[in-house]
Amino acid sequence: MHLSLPKCDNNSKPFPSNLHDVESYTGWLDTSGIIGYLRTSPNQDGESRKGEYQKYAVELFARDRQLPVAAFYSGIGESGQRIGSRSTPQLMAAIEHAEKEGFPIVAFDYQRFSRHPHKLSRFPGVDFISLNPLTTPAKDLPGIRKRAANTHNPSRKGGRPRNMEAPKQLPYILSQLGKPWSSIARELGDNWSDKKVKRILERYFEWHPLE
């Protein structure tokens, strides 16, 4: 049976072989650190424009994996259409760092690297990791990012999110993707259900203070 790679939305080309999500990447045991990359679009404003929620998500994931973040590269306003020293200088700096150290580059979702992910194939020696599953439709990513920015800055909505504890399990849930929802729920404890696990993952990111 032939298995094809996932396709990029609105693009007939498949995702490149060096683009992974948390579940599909198999090199965690071989790396001693990661590099974080953040990108927000020029037309974004307010808290979404800052991209702090992206950094926080990468920090949570790194802490759960017990991997140091060697560096963060913030491509605020960098192009999502092109990849190059003029259009995406911070991404190129992250790629150069990754090539030197052998670390994967981790971003909030695959479109943070480029809206045309197949272009990442130009850098075969670098692994690009999306915290958001590659199976997430591109049309859903803006909503996920908006919710992440809002929940990271609860004062914009009049207070903190209702549930302050459950979202702390998000990094663990991400690390267990691929297992049955019911199995993940059992491992989390008696007060968890498969619906609760899926709900936290759908929200993808909730605000809570770093310890």
Same domain, 45 and 131: yes
Q: What is the reported pLDDT for 179?
A: 81
Same domain, 39 and 110: yes
Q: What is the reported pLDDT for 60?
A: 87
Same domain, 27 and 131: yes
Cβ distance 80 to 115 under 8 Å? yes
Q: What is the reported pLDDT for 197?
A: 80
Which residues, in sequence order, are bridge partners of residue 179?
Answer: 177
Q: Which of the listed residues 80, 110, 135 is the one where a domain comes to its end?
A: 135
3 domain residue, yes or no: no
Of 128, 118, 143, 110, the residue nearest 25 (C-alpha): 128
Q: What is the reported pLDDT for 120?
A: 96
Q: Which of the listed residues 102, 135, 168 is the one where a domain comes to its end?
A: 135
Q: What's the CA gap between 81 and 54, in Å, rounded?
A: 19
Of 149, 133, 155, the residue nearest 205 (C-alpha): 149
- Which residues form the domain of 168? 143-203
Same domain, 126 and 184: no
pTM: predicted TM-score of the whole model, two decimal places: 0.68
Cβ distance 75 to 88 under 8 Å? yes
Q: What's the CA gap between 153 and 29, in Å, rounded?
A: 34
Can you list the residues of the chain whose pLDDT is less than 50? 1-5, 10, 156-162, 164, 205-211
Q: What is the reported pLDDT for 208?
A: 37
Exposure pattern of 32-43 as b/e (b: 16+ CB <10 Å)? eebbbbbbbbee
Sequence-ordered list of residues with C-beta below 8 angstroms from that of 154, at least 6 positions apart, any chain = 160, 161, 207
Same domain, 154 and 130: no
Of 64, 74, 60, 39, the residue nearest 145 (C-alpha): 39
Q: What is the reported pLDDT for 125?
A: 93
Q: Tokens representing 93? A: 């700096």
What's the DSSP call for residue 163?
Answer: -
7 domain residue, yes or no: no
What's the DSSP call for residue 7?
Answer: B
Q: What is the reported pLDDT for 3?
A: 37
Phi then psi dihedrals of residue 41, to 5 deg: -80, 150
Q: Which residue is listed with tokens 């971003």?
A: 107
Q: How far apart are the first and last CA of the chain?
A: 48
